[in-house]
Chains A and B, each alone.
Chain A
Amino acid sequence: MVSITGSNDKSAATERISWLERLNSNRNLLGFLFMLPAALVLLVFLAYPLGLGVWLGFTDVKVGRPGHFIGFDNYEWLFQDDIFWLSVFNTFLYTSVASVIKFAIGLWLALLLNRNLPFKSFLRAIVLLPFIVPTVLSALAFWWIYDSQDSVISWTLIEMGLLDQPIDFLGNPNNARASVIAANIWRGIPFVAITLLAGLQTISPSLYEAATIDGANEWQRFRRITLPLLTPIIAVVMTFSVLFTFTDFQLIWVMTRGGPINATHLMATLSYQRAIIGGALGEGAAIAVAMIPFLLAAVLFSYFGLQRQKWQQGGRDD
């Protein structure tokens, strides 16, 4: 009897060990287990809200009232909504103008910072400043700079005798558009500049020396060496920059709340206004979902554009 119990215990122990051992040696299962926590986080905090948003877009849920599935009604309604189309136009204008200028100034700054300047690290730190300040704070600062009465820009220009009266930065639709774009550019440049600077630093100085000896002038070195070697990084940086700009909310909301007469409403701010302020959760969600195709297009563009260039494939550099 005793002996039987003993052997039973023993076999149970062996079984446990072998189960653990099997787990240990099964790389697929082990890999799956290690992946699980991350997958869970992604599911709960990314996939679920996204799914919920898409679902809300097909309902007429209002704040405090459960809604019903209404199919594409929200989208049909938006399709005929001039303000929605205005916000789409604004978003495109905002994204394209801001991105192009951010790229141009960012690249220029990166090229400057890549030289052997005195106080190099100090200058680099300064360039990063707009990025460090919380967006809401910088938006408030710009709001003040753009004040219709006490704007420091208007004051300076008037003092210099170039203007008679203060500029109405945020009161006039086109001025307001230009003003928020300027604020976004100010805020977005550091990201572009510092990332491109990092890219520039991966280019071996001896390539420039070789090109110099080959007879290339400064412009030819930029055009034939810097630009092609920087292209993969430019593609990544600009994709992110476009995504951030397209979905911008904070700057606009603090400075103009989409006004005047919806001239600065972006899709994100309109969505928030309709959903949270106006209570029409379904409609707001539909506006947000309408951004997805555009964002997806940007991501796909970068995915195909970013695929390792042929010259990057195979082997090492040295």
Chain B
Amino acid sequence: MSSVEIRDVRKTFGTTEVLHGIDVMVPDGSFTVLVGPSGCGKSTLLRLIAGLEKITSGEILIDGRVVNDSPPKQRDIAMVFQNYALYPHMKVFDNMAFSLRLAKLDRKEIEEKVRQAAEILDLGDYLERYPRQLSGGQRQRVAMGRAIVRDPQVFLFDEPLSNLDAKLRVQMRTEIRELHQRLNSTSIYVTHDQIEAMTMADHIVVMCDGGIEQIGAPLELYDKPDNMFVASFIGSPAMNLIEGTIEVVDGHAAVAVDNDIRLPLPPNLGAQHGTRVYYGVRPEHLSLTNGTAGVPLDVSVVEPTGADTLIVCKLKGKDVLASFKERHDLRPGQSIRLEPDTALVHLFDANDGKRL
């Protein structure tokens, strides 16, 4: 177990810089998730930590030791790949024993370690099978088994669940989390799925276009996104972002979307009159009101999921999503009024997307 520190790491492929100076501190024993849309450089960063790619500049430290020039096997890491990368010609046992054999451990010790890992992962009955004879979830477990037999300092996961079906993904999510709690080893987990990030992580590193957008605990990112990218990326369904101008009349601030639409703001917000902003409000922070309060909208789609109901409305041609725990009898075409919970409203500068 140990910490991983990334200091101003850059990576270029040819003339393209894909990582522009990344700084991340992964504390000892934490479960850190790198999340971002595809092409944001999160997998590249993981491969740099693993030593599968050479970093162009900067430093990577594992357990306080600079590992820039160390080959993967000296970094004491284990990696779980997206496609599992199980050796197809080896049985499950041999797949898991491969690294131990290369490390020239004696047979009894190998046997013991593999059995132990197999027991943790409930793979005992499959040790004599070939990867092809296993289901997706079982293969995933073998891939994890191959990682844990080595008892490494750091576990690296490269989108390990994206090849599984939805139900299995939820189940494996819990299993990986349980495994981490049991082994308590530093883990770095790459995913493009923000729900995976939210549910599994101690720390989330949100990445976009080769840079870091925000680092924080899951709920921190949800409650206080630093910028519009994080705001729209974290949370499902995504946050509504409505463009408008701040209007301060008699000390009451609001965001004017159009001549007749005013979105309310909390009173103590030191907003400048006339600033172009994006008004961010999560679908779950909108509520249905009667009378004259709130903003008038037309319902265009109603999507009940059972637990809650998602409705899509139109505001000046743009979609606005609202999600209700209660069941309302709404129909497409119906006019409703929605009121945002002003305490939970986010404001972002329209120019640079930063939080105000």
CA A314 – CA B89 in complex, angstroms?
13
A207 to B77, CA, bound (A): 16
Q: Which A residues are in CB contact (< 8 Å) with B134?
A: 315
List of B residues within 8 angstroms of A311 by Cβ: 88-90, 130-132
Q: Does A68 contact B (CB under 8 A)?
A: no
In the bound complex, residues from chain B placing their C-beta under 8 Å from that of A204 are: 83, 85
Taking CB atoms and an 8 Å cut-off, the chain B residues in 62-85 that contact chain A are: 71-73, 77-79, 81-85
Q: Which residues of A265-318 have CB atoms within 8 Å of chain B's CB atoms?
A: 309-318
Instruction: Report whether A317 and B102 are in contact in the complex, using a CB–CB cutoff of 8 Å.
Output: no
Q: Are B88 and A229 in contact (CB under 8 A)?
A: yes
User: How distant is the Cα of A224 from the Cα of B103 in the complex, in angstroms?
Assistant: 14
Interface residues in B255-272 (C-beta closer than 8 Å to A) = none
B52 in the interface (beta carbon within 8 A)? yes
| Contact indicator A215/B73 (Cβ below 8 Å) | yes
Q: Are A206 and B78 in contact (CB under 8 A)?
A: no
Nearest-neighbor residue (CB-CB) of A231 within chain B? B89
CA of A309 to CA of B163, assembled, Å: 26
* Set B73, B88, B98: member contacting A224, Cβ < 8 A: B98
Alpha-carbon distance A302/B89, docked complex (angstroms) = 20
| A210 touches which of B51, B79, B163 (Cβ 8 Å) | B79
Give the interface centre of A213, A215, A229 by most chain B CB atoms within 10 Å: A213
Residues in B neighbouring A207, C-beta threshold 8 A: 85, 87
Interface residues on B, range: 20 to 34
Instruction: Let me know if B10 is at the binding interface, CB within 8 A.
Output: no
Shortest C-beta distance, B167 to chain A (Å), equals 18
Within the complex, which residue of B50, B87, B88 is in contact with A213, where a contact is CB–CB below 8 Å?
Answer: B50
In B132-162, which residues have CB < 8 Å from any A CB? 132-134, 146, 150
Instruction: Flag if B132 contacts A315 (CB, 8 Å).
Output: yes
- CB–CB B130/A213 < 8 A: no
How distant is B247 from chain A, measured CB to nearest CB, in Å? Answer: 56
The complex places the Cα of A157 from the Cα of B323 at a distance, in Å, of 87
Interface residues of B in 99-129 (CB under 8 A from A): 99, 102-103
Distance in angstroms from A212 CB to nearest chain B CB is: 5
Is A220 engaged at the interface, CB distance under 8 Å to the other chain? yes
Q: Would you give the 0/1 interface string for A211-232, flagging 1 where the beta carbon is closer than 8 Å to chain B? A: 1111110001000110011000
Contacts A313-B132, A314-B132; A213 near B89 (Cβ below 8 A): no
Chain A residues with Cβ below 8 Å from B130 are 310-311, 313-314
Chain B, Cβ-Cβ closest to A207: B85
Alpha-carbon gap, A177 to B86, bound state (A):
47
Give the CA-CA distance A149 to B82 in the complex, in Å: 63
Given known contacts A213-B72, A214-B98, A311-B132, is B81 in contact with A206 (CB within 8 Å)? yes
Please measure, in the bound complex, the distance between the C-alpha atom of A209 and the C-alpha atom of B43, giving whole angstroms.
Answer: 14
Count of chain A residues with Cβ under 8 Å from any Cβ of B? 26
Say whether B52 contacts A209, CB under 8 Å. Answer: yes
- Enumerate chain B residues within 8 angstroms of A318, measured Cβ to Cβ: 83-84, 163
Please indicate the chain A residues that have their CB under 8 angstroms from the CB of B132 in the complex.
Answer: 311-317
CB pair B77 A213 closer than 8 Å: yes
Cβ 8 A contact of A206, one of B72, B85, B163 = B85
| Bound CA–CA A313/B77 (angstroms) | 32
Min CB gap A227→B, angstroms: 10
Given A204-B85, A225-B87, A229-B89, are A213 and B103 also a contact pair (CB < 8 Å)?
Answer: no
- B300 CB, nearest partner CB in chain A, Å: 39
Nearest-neighbor residue (CB-CB) of B73 within chain A = A215
Q: Which of B29-73 contact A (CB under 8 A)?
A: 50-52, 71-73
B52-A309 in contact (CB<8A) = no
A314 to B73, CA, bound (A): 33
- Contact across chains for A215 and B90 when beta carbons are under 8 A apart: no
Query: In the assembled complex, how far is the CB of residue A221 from the closest CB belonging to chain B, in whole angstroms?
Result: 10
Query: Would you call B102 and A209 a contact (CB within 8 A)?
Result: no
How far, in angstroms, from A224 to B101 measured CA to CA in the complex? Answer: 11
Taken together as a complex, chains A and B put the C-alpha atoms of A209 and B78 apart, in Å, by 11
Residues of B within 8 A of A216 (CB): 73, 98, 102
Could you tell me if A213 and B73 are in contact, using CB atoms closer than 8 angstroms? yes
Shortest distance between the CB of B189 and any CB in chain A (Å): 16
In the complex the two chains form, what is the Cα distance from A236 to B73 in whole Å?
35
Closest chain-B Cβ to A223's Cβ sits at a distance in Å of 11
Structural contact, A214 and B146, CB atoms closer than 8 A: yes
Known: A311-B90, A313-B132, A316-B132. A215 touches B83 (CB 8 A): no
Residues on A with beta carbons closer than 8 Å to the beta carbon of B89: 228-229, 309, 311
Q: Which residues of B contact A317 (CB under 8 A)?
A: 88, 132
Question: Whole-angstrom distance from the CB of A307 to the nearest CB of chain B?
Answer: 15
Of all chain A residues, the one with the shortest Cβ separation from B104 is A215
In Å, the complex CA distance between A209 and B87 comes to: 11
Interface residues of B in 221-239 (CB under 8 A from A): none
CA A207 to CA B51, docked complex, whole Å: 15
Assess the B102–A220 pair: CB atoms within 8 A: yes
Query: Which residue on A lies nearest to B99, using beta carbons?
Result: A214
Query: Chain B contacts of A209 at CB under 8 A?
Result: 50, 52, 79, 81, 85
Residues of B within 8 A of A316 (CB): 132
Nearest A residue (CB) for B156: A213
30 examples of A-B residue contacts, CB within 8 angstroms: A206-B81, A206-B83, A206-B85, A207-B85, A207-B87, A209-B50, A209-B85, A210-B81, A210-B146, A212-B73, A213-B52, A213-B72, A213-B73, A213-B79, A214-B73, A214-B98, A215-B72, A215-B73, A220-B102, A224-B98, A309-B89, A311-B90, A311-B131, A313-B130, A313-B133, A314-B130, A314-B132, A315-B134, A317-B88, A317-B132
**Which 7 pairs show the lowest CB-CB distances between chains A and B?**
A214-B99, A215-B73, A206-B85, A210-B85, A315-B132, A311-B130, A215-B102
By a beta-carbon cutoff of 8 Å, the part of chain A in contact with chain B is 204, 206-207, 209-216, 220, 224-225, 228-229, 309-318
Given contacts A210-B87, A214-B150, 18 further A-B contacts (CB under 8 A): A204-B85, A207-B87, A211-B87, A212-B72, A213-B52, A213-B72, A213-B78, A220-B102, A311-B88, A312-B132, A314-B130, A314-B132, A314-B133, A315-B132, A315-B134, A317-B88, A318-B84, A318-B163
